[in-house]
Amino acid sequence: MNILYNIVVFLHIVGAAMIVGIWIGQMKKPTVHPRQFDGAMLQLLTGVA
């Protein structure tokens, strides 16, 4: 159970990195990239779990 919890926490952090990393990479053209949406959904799913 502890391993599953650590995997979910890791995926939650990966989701945050997807949102922030792509946001930093696209600062000159402020648009929402589809991968940012995927990162937000990953964070939502792992946050609820």
Whether 2 has a pLDDT exceeding 90, the answer reads yes
Could you give the C-alpha distances from 44 to 2, 17, 22, 28, in angstroms and in order?
20, 14, 18, 27
> Containing domain of residue 30, as a range?
2-48
Give 5-47 pLDDT, tens digit per residue.
999 999 999 999 999 998 888 888 888 888 899 999 999 999 8
The Cα–Cα gap between 2 and 17 comes to 23
pLDDT confidence of residue 42: 92
- Count of structural domains, the chain: 1
pLDDT above 80 for 49: no
**pLDDT for residue 18:** 92
* Confidence at residue 12, expressed as pLDDT on a 0 to 100 scale: 93
Its pTM stands at 0.80
